[in-house]
Structure 1
């Protein structure tokens, strides 16, 4: 049967340059492609035993196959920023729908230990993200006992300083934040006149060229997709391509609050928190995603989420019980992958990394 997919957006892709988006750090097994819209009966098939119903937000891997019934239609956001539609009855390999030659994503990563110390006023937003706002609203973690905070923004010749009692402040300096520049944010917690906790992070301003591309492409998406959920998912993936993680988080939070999303949406929010270095928030979303994946009987997704949770739990661990939990999650991931037929080379490599992580975590558990 001949393939029958078409490019949905015309102008959109003309504004996306191959290789301009830096690959994000990805949790174990995060899917490179994502379903935006489903009409009719569409199944996602990994092998003979692992077949799931398709739904908006579900991640797709290159070894998956889409099976469409008569009259069905599915729209996909591919990792190379193409939006594809399949609209004919039959089975279609995802690797054929989404060309994998220029994927901006990788399925594996390493992470350094998180700076989310609850005793520090760590920056929450905007954090490790690009933004388009000229007067961003900064928020940070409240520290017990703090009576005030000193906030500094430094970069591109700017040195802005203010002091507040709460955990929110908007930049209102006379100098305009410069496109393309990185700005460091230093937050110091005070108890009376004595400082006792300091945290640093930062954000970047999107370049003027990219902002113009973003404006045109966003308008194109809004014209193409009238359904709220479909447009939201398309925007999330587009924002992530531009490293506008704060914008992606805002859309995903709204999407979750408005309905009952599947495991893929929770996983995507967890992944985005992971990208900006907020692993505690990432873990909370991965837990919800795992619960949904178990209800969906999606064994491959369960394995990737268990592995991600194992790594995050290890990074956040402060007690022996935490390390034991991490080991249990990693072991569970291996069990889930063992239930899959004919592992791909990518999955085999992922399992090897999980096994290495499990050995490392077990080494931290006191005998």
Structure 2
């Protein structure tokens, strides 16, 4: 069992999904979002080498990579999806309370630049090929102000004595407590890319991808962790 201590915070547990964060003066009042309770199966995100395998997914569908089944920190999310061979442009839509935004692009990504999103509301992002025959849909929620302040405060209290790996794990755990699954994954995969993989990082990524039901990425990191001499 991992036990990390830092100012105002104590984290217990091996997997992030089973970890418990106790923050002094912080009350966790999150309700589990509907889209995270029963996430749709989505394609895996790109690995640390920039490869984006589709697995058995339909290559004619622009499967959304992010944001997907997660709260988000930014109200200007970068929307990414798998490129479809032969597609010359894509139609991207975001729909939500009093919002109908759309744009076209030739790239497999675009940054939302429409009207201000409403914190705490659920939005749908839809990406379709130019012919309209193939599309994918995902959901996200922009974190509310109180929760964002809790996160900033919790991160600010992290001990400066933490190793880079301990810091990455601690920040990812804080994100996960607020259902910021994509952000937690990004922190750990950035650490993996910059400093290499360890058993505990792979274990946490396996657990996070299980929570959002990305079985291909679960398998990928399980295989990475099957190295006979993984780092501790």
Q: TM-score, normalised by structure 2?
A: 0.76
The residue aligned with 2:13 is 33
- 8 Å CA contact retained: 2:176, 2:184: yes
The residue aligned with 1:171 is 112
Output one character per residue of 1:193-236: Cα deviation in whole Å (capped at 9) or x when no partner.
x2221111111111111111111111112x44453222111111
- 8 Å CA contact retained: 1:185, 1:201: yes
3-state secondary structure, aligned to 2:183: helix
Give, in whole Å, the separation in 2 of the partners of 1:168 and 1:209.
30
Higher helix proportion (structure 1 or 2): 1
The residue aligned with 2:91 is 150
- 1:122 paired with 2:63, answer yes
Give, in whole Å, the separation in 1 of the partners of 2:139 and 2:169.
26
3-state secondary structure, aligned to 1:159: strand
- 1:181 paired with 2:115, answer no
Q: What does 1:294-309 align with in structure 2 at a 5 Å threshold?
A: 294-295=228-229
The residue aligned with 2:34 is none
Q: Structure 1 residues 78 and 177, CA, compared in 2 at 3 Å: closer, same or farther? A: same
- 1:9 paired with 2:4, answer no
Q: CA deviation at 1:185?
A: 0.6
Q: CA deviation at 1:78?
A: 7.3
- 8 Å CA contact retained: 1:151, 1:163: yes
Q: What does 1:1-367 align with in structure 2 at a 5 Å threshold?
A: 8-10=6-8, 12=9, 33-34=13-14, 59=15, 79-82=19-22, 114-116=41-43, 117-119=57-59, 120-173=61-114, 175-190=115-130, 194-221=131-158, 223-289=159-225, 291-292=226-227, 294-295=228-229
* Count of equivalent residues: 201
Q: TM-score, normalised by structure 1?
A: 0.49
Q: Structure 1 residues 220 and 123, CA, compared in 2 at 3 Å: closer, same or farther? A: same
Greater RCO structure (CA 8 Å; 6+ sep)? 2
3-state secondary structure, aligned to 2:21: coil
Give, in whole Å, the separation in 1 of the partners of 2:189 and 2:176.
14
Output one character per residue of 1:32-84: Cα deviation in whole Å (capped at 9) or x when no partner.
813xxxxxxxxxxxxxxxxxxxxxxxx59xxxxxxxxxxxxxxxx9722149x
Q: CA deviation at 1:7?
A: 5.9
The residue aligned with 1:347 is none
The residue aligned with 1:306 is none
- 8 Å CA contact retained: 1:130, 1:243: yes
Q: CA deviation at 1:248?
A: 1.0
Q: CA deviation at 1:281?
A: 2.4
Aligned CA RMSD, in angstroms, stands at 2.9
Output one character per residue of 1:1-45: Cα deviation in whole Å (capped at 9) or x when no partner.
xxxx996432x57xxxxxxxxxxxxxxxxxx813xxxxxxxxxxx
Rg comparison, structure with higher value: 1
Output one character per residue of 1:243-283: Cα deviation in whole Å (capped at 9) or x when no partner.
11121111111211233432221121132233333332232
